[in-house]
Amino acid sequence: MLVYYCSMCGYMYVIVFKVLTDNYKYIQSGNVVFQSVETNLDELEILISDGILNGYALNVPVLVREVSELKYILAQNPLLGEIEDDITKLHITFLSKAPEKSFLESIDNSVYLPDKFFITERTIYLFCPNGYGNTKLSNNFFENKLKVSATTRNLRTLMELVKLCDQIDSKDLWY
C-alpha cells in the first residue's frame, strides 16, 4: 500500500492511476492512496511524475510513502505530547530525501518561535500555533534551506490517509 503526495489536485490522477491499478482513492487534499505491484518507490515517483508531465505538461514533484511509514510517522510525533490542546496546529512535512547535515545545522529552531519544528531523516514535525498560513516554516523555506523537495500535510489529513489505506486494505471501499 502506498500513498502519493502532490501539490496538484484534480482529475489527472484518474488517468495516471488507471495505468498503475484500479484500486486507488483520491481525496481533495491532493493525495491519492493506492495499491501497486511496483514496489520501488523511486520508480513509482518517476512513473507518476512522468505521467502527469506527459498527460498535462505539468512538472510537479511527487513523493510516495508506504502506509507503514505513515503510521510510524504518526506514532513517533515528538510534538504530540507537548501540544495536547490543539492538534489542528500540528503538521508533517515530507522531504524527498534526507538533507545534508550542514544544511540541517544552518536552521536554528529558536529563531522561529512560537513555531516549533523537529527534523528526522525525511520528515519534519511542525507546530504552528498561529496557523500554517502564518508561519515562515513553509515548504519553500525548507526547500531553500535544505535543498530538497517538500510537501506538508496537517495531522488530520495524514490520519485520514492512513484510515483510507486501512479501508482499501480491508476492501471496505471497493464493492
Mean pLDDT across 91-114: 95
- d(C-alpha 172, C-alpha 118), whole Å: 35
Residues above pLDDT 70, as percent of the chain: 78
Enumerate the β-bridge partners of residue 92.
125, 153
2-69: which CATH number, 3.30.2250, 3.40.50, 3.20.20, 3.30.70? Answer: 3.30.70
CA distances from 1 to 34, 48, 122 (A): 6, 15, 19
Residues above pLDDT 90, as percent of the chain: 45
The confidence band for 21, taking pLDDT boundaries of 50, 70 and 90, is: low
Domain boundaries, the chain: 2-69, 70-158
Q: How close are the terminal C-alpha atoms of the chain, in Å?
A: 18
70-158: which CATH number, 2.60.40, 1.20.120, 3.30.390, 3.30.70? Answer: 3.30.70
Judged against a pLDDT cut of 80, whether residue 118 lies above it is answered with yes
Query: Is 98 or 169 the better-scoring residue by pLDDT?
Result: 98
